[in-house]
Amino acid sequence: MLFTLILLPLLAAIAILCGAPARKTALAAALGNIVLASFPLMNASSPNWNTGFQVLADPEINLSLGFHSSGASAVMLLLSVLITLAAVYSGKCPEGREKLWFSSTLFIAAGCIGAFLSTDVFFFYAFHELALIPTFLMIGILGRGERKQVAWKITIYLAFGSIVLLAGLLLATYHAGSFAMADLANAKVPLEAQKTIALLLIIGFGTLISLFPLHSWAAPAYASAPAPVSMLHAGVLKKFGLYGLLVVGMNVAPDGMAHWLPLLCSLLLGNIIWVGLVTINQKRLDLMFGNSSVMHMGYIFLAIAALAADPSNQIAEPAAVLLMFAHGISIALLFSLSSVVEEKTGTLEINQLGGLAKKAPALAFIFGLAGMASIGLPGLANFAGEIMVFLAGFASWKAGEPLGLVQITTIIALWGVVISAVYVLRAYRDCFQGPLVKSTEDASDLSLCGKIPSYMLGAVLLIVGIYPQIILQFLPQQ
């Protein structure tokens, strides 16, 4: 079953390249994956869904292609299939480019699902690389603006991050004597080696996640990328690094992660405060949401820092995973809606928009819902994740004791909530309220194809916000 979840988008992408109807094939594969994923998700803790086979049984190199769908991987699977379906619906495919557009979308989806379900570090890394190749192609060929320069920049940054990450993973597997994640979790790695592994993983994963100051590739890439790419990369693929720090970094080098806690806290505050202020200064919706995505990675890093400071912290990992899911849904929806705004008005410059709610009330409603979710409005999914992150920051603190590094970092990070509210509310007012302007006079509302993915993702934000247990039930450490 889990093999099928990866094979289906891969085979559909190959079929499209061979001449199958692009949109219909991609839609059928995305819908099929949601149906198939529902079976393991309904009983994610069952070992019956674990599957795999030996690829290489050399005494020195023992590789297994295996998959599982429990804990955080189950949540990431759900995130992947939902956003894949929305991404297939979203964006306006350039005429004559249907093969590249839809096959690349499916290749990215297959890489994401394969990475999150892999039980072996080698394939965990390999599937992520598989997802990056079509990302580069889509930005370089079908992107907007200075797409070639942006594609080269993202290639250089992510290649650097991938090489550093590979060094960290190889060092971890050397000390564990295995590529299997289960063996890495039980490995007894010397402290000095843990420090080196943790630093390499923080830099490697951090570059892929856009950890400050290695973040400058992200916002231009999302602004230039076609809608399906920005949705899948910011919504799903970016979580690869956070997931990796949780399932690899914290398992194989917990003391090493604790050693680098001051560095991690300093950098995550760079994401929240510095990038947050940069976000306020943006004049285009796509750049604003691109920087916003980078900023909100800081909160998830905060949960990981709380776990590094105290591995017995029972709330930190569920907080990180819940916020990864909520952020993935909300940012994918915002990028999808940004592409709709550009399609309807011809611009994403905030000062050239106004009064759009009069012409497009459905678009204004769902845009407002996604925006409120992104700033952590109670009742929406991001609020549940963010409040758990802040609680995780104080979970190890006792009244009367002096504040520790994680608690001080949490207090400073709270200012990010104010910063988020400023740029989202101001952008919504400038784009959707006030009088109509030239670009919005003839704008139309969401079409049926636009409503389907938007309402689906909006409903997920509401359901998870009201009942976060629907996600937390997958996580054994809550």
Q: Per-residue pLDDT tens, the chain, 478 aa: give them.
A: 778 899 999 999 999 999 999 999 999 999 999 999 988 888 766 666 666 666 666 666 666 777 777 789 999 999 999 999 999 988 888 888 899 999 999 999 999 999 999 888 988 999 998 898 999 889 989 888 888 888 888 889 989 999 999 999 999 999 988 888 888 888 889 999 999 999 999 999 999 999 999 988 888 898 899 999 999 999 998 899 999 999 999 999 999 999 999 999 999 999 999 999 999 999 999 999 999 999 999 999 999 999 999 999 999 999 999 999 999 999 999 999 999 999 999 999 999 999 999 999 999 999 999 999 999 999 999 999 999 999 999 998 888 888 999 999 999 999 999 999 999 999 999 999 999 998 889 899 998 888 888 999 999 999 999 999 999 998 875 4
Angle at 311 between CA 310 and CA 315, to 5 degrees: 85
pLDDT value of position 105: 94
Report the amino acid identity of residue 21: P
Give the chain's end-to-end CA distance (angstroms, integer): 27
Q: Assign 222 to helix, strand or coil.
A: helix
Using alpha carbons, select from 89, 108, 30, 92 the residue that is nearest to residue 453.
89
List, as one string, the DSSP characters of 68-104.
Answer: ---THHHHHHHHHHHHHHHHHHSS-PPTT-HHHHHHH
pLDDT value of position 61: 67
CA distance 274 to 222: 19
The burial of 126, by beta-carbon neighbours within 10 Å (0-12 exposed, 13-18 middle, 19 or more buried), is given as middle
Q: Mind listing the pLDDT tens digit for each residue in 421-452?
A: 999 999 999 999 999 998 889 899 998 888 88
C-alpha torsion sign, points 439, 280, 154, 5? negative
Q: Mind listing the pLDDT tens digit for each residue in 93-140?
A: 888 889 999 999 999 999 999 999 988 898 899 999 889 899 988 998
Using alpha carbons, select from 474, 426, 434, 345 the residue that is nearest to residue 76.
474
What value does the CA radius of gyration of the chain take, rounded to a whole number of Å?
21
Cβ neighbours around 290 below 10 Å, total: 27
Q: Per DSSP, what are the bridge partners of residue 56?
A: 63
Report the amino acid identity of residue 200: L
Q: Per DSSP, what are the bridge partners of residue 315?
A: none
Query: Residues with Cβ < 8 Å from 237, sequence gap 6 or more?
Result: 108, 111, 112, 128, 131, 132, 135
Using alpha carbons, select from 374, 338, 373 the residue that is nearest to residue 356.
338
CA distance 141 to 226: 10
Could you give phi then psi for residue 53, rounded to 5 degrees? -150, 160
Beta carbons of 242 and 294 less than 8 angstroms apart: no
Query: Residues with Cβ < 8 Å from 278, sequence gap 6 or more?
Result: 291
Residue with tokens 């996580």: 475
Residue with tokens 């400050």: 212
DSSP 403: P
Angle at 413 between CA 161 and CA 128, to 5 degrees: 25
Please give the tally of structural domains in the chain: 1
Alpha carbon of residue 387 to chain centroid: 19
Beta carbons of 50 and 66 less than 8 angstroms apart: yes
26 within some domain: yes
Cβ neighbours around 349 below 10 Å, total: 14
pLDDT value of position 56: 64
| H-run or E-run covering 422 | helix 415-432
478 within some domain: no
Domain region containing 42: 1-473
Beta carbons of 364 and 315 less than 8 angstroms apart: no
321 within some domain: yes
285 within some domain: yes
244 within some domain: yes
pLDDT value of position 243: 93
